[in-house]
Structure 1
Amino acid sequence: MSDAPALKEWFNAARYRWFADELASLTPRFDRKKFLAHTLPGLDERSLLQRIRRTSEAMSATLPADYPKALAVLKKLAPRFDHNFVTLVLPDFVGLYGHDDFDASMDALAFFTRFGSAEFAIREFLKRDLPRTLAVMERWSLDKNEHLRRLASEGCRPRLPWSFRLPALIADPSPVAPILENLRADDSLYVRKSVANHLNDITKDHPDWTLATLRRWTTKNPHTAWIARRALRTLIKAGHPEALALFGVKPGAFVRVENLTLSAPAITLGDRLSFSYDVTSTSSRSQRIVADYAVHYVKKSGDLSRKVFKLSEFDLPARSRVSLKKSQRFQNFTTRTHYAGEHRIELLLNGQSVASTSFMLHVTSPKSRLLT
């Protein structure tokens, strides 16, 4: 099976020629050759983020020097994109060159986020003037457009992936509270995912603050309840008593775990491993059970790295028995490289480790696979 094209290939030579043609049609004196001279040489060696940044630099070198006039051109360009991922370059231009015109930059980011995402660019302004930028984002959190409401939450996440951290908000999350309050029961799943991920970020530094916030919100609203459960996923996987209690789950479980079985004692990279086990209640009362599992991956150093995954959540009647099973494929991703060796599967019930077993993972090179 062939690999999917790398994300950076969205910014390839054909794309840059498209950029040049479109910008030339919007700007009478646009220097097409100069734009391509900025973007094409050395293209293969550049990462995705380097390609985005080089595009912004090329636009700065060829668009009108007057910032508002350059923004006017880019606003006309935005609807012409055939893929929202490529529009990342538009807010990147704002984040790079718009610091001296705050109001025009905020207006531009609000416009561009409707076509893609501006969460990385807004952080450049948060870093320079947190109160002023958060005041704008709080207004965005009340906007009728879901993309703008989502930006209000996503842009000020303290630990946004692919971006730099915001130390001031890691130290004290309270400045973002009004934004999260406004979005706590949002109709848009797109927005709710961001709010939940934002709160999950905060649990890593201020779990008590997050729990206090969610206790204050009524979870009778199904949208708020969804946010709360997703927001506390890290704490629930860790067996945090107060996080579990928020959903009527008691730490630990009165159960007996038996018959933990793997589909194979050893697998090869790319294969799927299945496991199953039985859970028998030893209690005279019904129990709410949160079943997770952890995979202990072998690292390059030979040490193990533990990652917890969700499995199931259910009510276990008194003295009853339930069988659980799961299947997982072991393959390389951009975020994970597998190494050969003895891995472990660990079972967790209500945050407590209840059983584990091991299996071998063999990693073969593409060449050796062709020979088998």
Structure 2
Amino acid sequence: MSSTPENAPALKEIFNQQRLEHIADAMLAVYPAFDRQRFVQQASHNLAELSLMQRLARVSQSLHQVLELDYPTSLELLHALAPRLNNRFVCIFLPHYVASYGLHDFELSMAALKYFTRFGSSEFAVRHFLRQDCTRSLALMEQWAGDPDEHVRRLASEGSRPRLPWSFRLEQLQADPQLAAPILEHLRNDPSLYVRKSVANHLNDITKDHPQWVLQRLEGWPLEQPHSAWIARHALRSLIKQGDRRALAIIGAGARPEVEVDRFQVAPGQLRLGDSLNLSLTLVSTSPRNQRLVVDYAIDYVKASGATASKVFKLKTFTLQGLARVELGRNQQIRELTTRRHYPGRHGVQLLVNGECLAASHFDLLIP
């Protein structure tokens, strides 16, 4: 996740005091006996000290403590509450409630997750049921993959991702990708981009542990279908950045590039944090045939130890006409991110075409 722009509210402020009062008012509307004051007091206790996910969990916990009802009755009220809430991310506390207090009732809870995912994704909550009973959960989620609602279909894929961000890993699925394969096969030509993105991300997760499994499966897909081809391209993004020849071949860029680099410029030669790095280049085809090219660039970031670690960035994927030339460019701001800290020193920059380094340069990062 990138850094928050200056003066922008922190993401955790999705659950601010005003939002908690909104939730309380909506709950009171569906349950007149609801103790609004007690809920707001409990949910807002030490609010400033809580992270985003802690605030989400606090809402779920506070509802449970204030409602003091049996689980099925509480779920009925939460079903009525869901359409009244004014933010999809906020609605994630509803599935959180199910995962926290409903693991004992599989059928009722999974039906609730299917319903709540239409308002705010149940992708995090359903993982608790997968961890508790993987076989039973996957069997039901495979049925969800055929649901008319795109949110439910996406839940089948997203919830079963082995390495879902912001959640724990599903070790059984990480060890054996075949377990969730029926879900992915069912969704491989899904008409919804929302669903296709999830399937691609699920497959990209698997490439971290079982790259050959993914490559073999995608080689058997009907890639003449545009939706399947789209999923394949995005699923293979990590392997493509690594220059994997088999992955490049699947997207039609497996041949060695027959091009010359007429010009590769990295400017300015010296930067400070906040400055923009400008890359510009000219590629010239040396073949009379059209070529499918994947053009990336890698930056060797200096680490605290003085060693470097390479990070590959996408530039452009396109078909270069025979004997043609093309100019490409990119501006990238060099700034601190929550996922990357910068250190002074010489940073190498490589131009990668179909996985091959065809040119190199560098810039010096100056940090007082």
Which aligned pairs between 1:81-230 and structure 2 lie closer than 5 A? 81-230=85-234
1:32 aligns with 2:31: no
| 8 Å Cα contact 1:251/1:352 also seen in 2 | no
Residue 209 of structure 1 aligns with an amino acid whose one-letter code is W
Q: Which of the numbers 308, 311, 314 marks the counterpart of 1:310?
A: 314
Spell out, residue by residue over 1:177-236, the C-alpha distance to the aligned partner (whole angstroms, 9 max, x if none): 111111111110000000011111111111111112112210111111111111111111
Give the match for residue 74 of structure 1: 78
- Name the CA distance, whole Å, in 2 between partners of 1:28 and 1:21: 10
Contact kept, 8 Å, 1:293 with 1:309, in 2: the verdict is: yes
- For residues 265 and 303 of structure 1, the distance between their equivalents in structure 2, rounded to whole angstroms, comes to 20
Higher mean C-alpha deviation, range 273-282 or range 62-71: 273-282
Unaligned runs of 5+ in 2: none
Aligned-residue offset at 1:319: 4.5
Separation of aligned partners in 1, 2:99 and 2:315:
41
Which residue does 1:56 correspond to in 2? 60
SS in 1 for 2:335: coil
**Secondary structure at 2:61 match in 1:** helix
* 3-state SS of 2:62 partner: helix
CA shift digits 1:279-331 (9 cap, x unpaired): 23344644322111112223344432321111112333454433322111223
Query: Which SS does the other structure have where 1:229 is aligned?
Result: helix
Secondary structure at 2:310's aligned position in 1?
strand
What TM-score results when the alignment is normalised by the length of structure 1?
A: 0.92
Tell me: CA distance 1:284–1:220, structure 2 relative to 1, closer, same or farther (3 Å): closer
Contact residue 239 and residue 251 of structure 1 kept, 8 A: no
Letter matched to residue 27 of structure 2: L
Return the alpha-carbon distance in structure 1 between the equivalents of residues 121 and 175 of structure 2: 26
Q: Which one-letter code corresponds to 1:169 in the other structure?
A: L
CA distance in 2 between partners of 1:42 and 1:239 (Å): 49
Gaps of 5+ in 1: 365-372
Query: SS at 1:227's partner residue?
Result: helix
Aligned pair 1:231/2:235, yes or no?
A: yes
In the aligned structure 2, how far is the partner of 1:253 from the partner of 1:333? 34
In 2: Cα distance, 1:3 partner to 1:356 partner: 38
Verify the 8 A CA contact 1:291 1:312 in the aligned structure 2.
yes
SS at match of 1:116: coil
Q: Structure 2: which amino acid aligns with 1:46?
A: L
Q: 1:292 to 1:25 in 2, by over 3 A?
A: same
| C-alpha distance in structure 2 between counterparts of 1:289 and 1:297, whole Å | 25
Query: Within 2, Cα distance between the matches of 1:302 and 1:15?
Result: 46
1:131–1:349 distance in 2 versus 1, CA, 3 Å: same
SS in 1 for 2:86: coil
Q: 1:318 to 1:24 in 2, by over 3 A?
A: closer
Higher relative contact order (CA 8 A, sep 6+): 2
Q: How many residues align?
A: 364
Q: Secondary structure at the match of 1:256?
A: strand
Residue 332 of structure 2 is matched in structure 1 by: 328
**Aligned equivalents of 1:303, 1:33: Cα separation in 2:** 56
Q: Which amino acid aligns with 1:170?
A: Q
CA distance in structure 1 between the aligned counterparts of 2:182 and 2:231, rounded to whole angstroms = 16
For residues 24 and 298 of structure 1, the distance between their equivalents in structure 2, rounded to whole angstroms, comes to 55
Task: Give 1:8-19 correspondences, 5 Å limit.
Answer: 8-19=12-23
2:188 alignment partner, SS class: coil
Give a deviation string over 1:63-88, Cα, whole Å, max 9, x none.
14310111111111111111111111
AA partner of residue 274 (structure 2): G
Of 324-333 and 89-98, deviating more is 324-333
